Structure 1
Amino acid sequence: MRERTILLITLLGLGLLAVGVAVVVVVEPLPEIATVEAQLLSQGLKIFFGIAAVVFLGVEGLLVFASVRGHLQGKSQAQVSSGLEMVWIGLPAVLVAVIVIYSVNLLSDIEAPASDAMVVTVTARQFEWEFYYVDAAVSSDTLVLPVGKPVELLFTSADVIHSFWVPAFGEKIDAVPDMVTSLTVTPLKTGIFRGVCAELCGAGHETMQADVLIQDPAVFEAWLTSSR
């Protein structure tokens, strides 16, 4: 009877672990993905959530298993194992090291500048955005980007600190007076997205928005030519 109870608890724990990992893998952590960088970020979040699910359910499962087993065997005091102590100290240390190394590589991939990137300077001011296409000498209040082409966005502010955020890009970046910050994006699909200011910047903060259009390369080139 005791062995059967322990087996059932073990199977239940493994089942919960499998369900938890499956949910993490299937559920998309970002509301929408429109760039390569957002895709990389989503993959990273799934890995982190998966690790967290395994650790949480594994630890809680072992806790329940040990409690029930000790109760069924009539043990009033836990037995100390130096070998087991080394395992639960060493395993988390190795896991943290792996996560740190993966995180550094992931951030490097996301933030890596592309040598052939199109440069767009972005000037933030209360309460609007100005996008300037350097090579074409075109200015616009709408951010228009071509699919498949890396774009380096260079941000600054004409007054106070702002923050540019397009949820489908997976990243946001501050626009700071007298400073240039950069964000590289590589659009994956066409569509209309919304960019907003994510830093409280004054009475009109909620109105500081911009349309973001991602177009096929030919359509983008036609727009760029007509805007000159």
Structure 2
Amino acid sequence: MAVALILLLVAIGSVLFHLYSPWWWTPIATDWSYIDHTISITFWITGVVFTAVIAFMAYCVFRFHHREGRRADYNPENKKLEWWLSVGTGVGVAAMLAPGLVVWHQFVTVPADATEVEVMGQQWQWSFRLPGKDGRLGTSDVRNINPENPLGLNRDDPHGQDDVVIENGDLHLPIGKPVKVLLRSVDVLHDFYVPEFRAKMDMVPGMVTYFWIKPIRTGTFDVLCAELCGAAHYQMRAKVTVDNESDYHAWLEQQKTFAELSGRNAVVRATYQSGGK
């Protein structure tokens, strides 16, 4: 009896702790509430199944506990029970997977009016690139990466000359506009993650992965790496700020383009080679 009661208390306590836990999601800052809803559906389904299984275990412990003179009934097969378990499990798994598949389709279907922002991850910093006045990002290649060209932009691509390059800095985004986030890695697996955005994706060397978001509230949020990427993984931090339209453009005007940075680096390199004269 005591064991059965303990099992029931564990099940009830676990569910109540989840429902009333102070550790919950951060307030959402994009329109990806679908992801929250999908996770909630998964929690409810797994919570009901968890409680039902524990309750059944408690019932079995209480109903079939040892008594003098009672002998166990050997029953190696029960087709009716197996069918019920198979069908019930299939329905439960489908109920968890179906919303996720719907959300995943939305997750990778980028709106036609979305602007592109590139995120570059490397041990252990974030860099960003935004399109310039032509509205297009220039091409890039990891073979072009060097101290003067940390993002590996193609110097011969005219669309890349006005790209805004932010090395080891913070990113700003305008509120209310969809953004396609292009993800690249220089060295190992990284994962660009802003908890308030709900969206995240692995960054794989040699590939360009992506997701899209539409910020719905202003604020400054932490950028984390959600993939263990080395000894200083915990230090791979940055900030992303969602601005209103005027503040965003004011910030953008203060940033340097690839052409400006290339010219400055060329001057610095020439000065160094001439001995500082």
Aligned to 2:28: 33
Mapped contact 2:12–2:51 kept (Cα < 8 A): no
Shift of 1:17: 8.2
Shift of 1:53: 0.9
Aligned to 1:122: 119
Which string of whole-angstrom CA distances, capped at 9 and with x for unpartnered residues, describes residues 125-164 of structure 1? 3433222111443233221112221111112233444332
Shift of 1:111: 2.9
Q: Which of the residues 204, 215, 220 maps onto 2:248?
A: 220
Between 44-53 and 201-210, report the one with greater CA deviation: 201-210
Q: Which of the residues 187, 193, 196 maps onto 1:165?
A: 193
Q: Which amino acid aligns with 1:41?
A: I
Which structure has greater strand proportion? Answer: 1
Which structure has greater helix proportion? Answer: 1
In the superposition, the TM-score normalised over structure 2's length comes to 0.63
Q: 2: distance between equivalents of 1:121 and 1:84?
A: 54
CA RMSD of aligned residues (A): 3.5
Q: Which of the residues 197, 217, 237 maps onto 1:189?
A: 217
Mapped contact 1:192–1:212 kept (Cα < 8 A): yes
Between 119-128 and 40-49, report the one with greater CA deviation: 119-128
- Over 3 Å counting, the alpha-carbon distance change for 1:20 and 1:195 in structure 2 is same
Aligned to 1:58: 52
Structure 1, unpaired ranges of 5+: 1-8
Q: 2: distance between equivalents of 1:208 and 1:122?
A: 13
Aligned to 1:3: none
Q: 1: distance between equivalents of 2:73 and 2:132?
A: 71
Q: Which of the residues 132, 138, 144 maps onto 2:164?
A: 138
- Over 3 Å counting, the alpha-carbon distance change for 1:32 and 1:162 in structure 2 is same
Shift of 1:40: 2.1
- Over 3 Å counting, the alpha-carbon distance change for 1:75 and 1:96 in structure 2 is farther
- Over 3 Å counting, the alpha-carbon distance change for 1:146 and 1:77 in structure 2 is same
Aligned to 2:36: 42
Which string of whole-angstrom CA distances, capped at 9 and with x for unpartnered residues, describes residues 73-119 of structure 1? x9755697654443223211222223222221122223321211111
Aligned to 1:209: 237
Q: 1: distance between equivalents of 2:14 and 2:189?
A: 40
- Over 3 Å counting, the alpha-carbon distance change for 1:58 and 1:218 in structure 2 is same
In the superposition, the TM-score normalised over structure 1's length comes to 0.74
Structure 2, unpaired ranges of 5+: 134-162, 257-277
Q: Which amino acid aligns with 1:45?
A: I
Q: 2: distance between equivalents of 1:26 and 1:111?
A: 33
Between 131-140 and 80-89, report the one with greater CA deviation: 80-89
Q: Which amino acid aligns with 1:184?
A: W
Say yes or no: does 1:97 pair with 2:94.
yes
Counterpart secondary structure, 1:36: coil
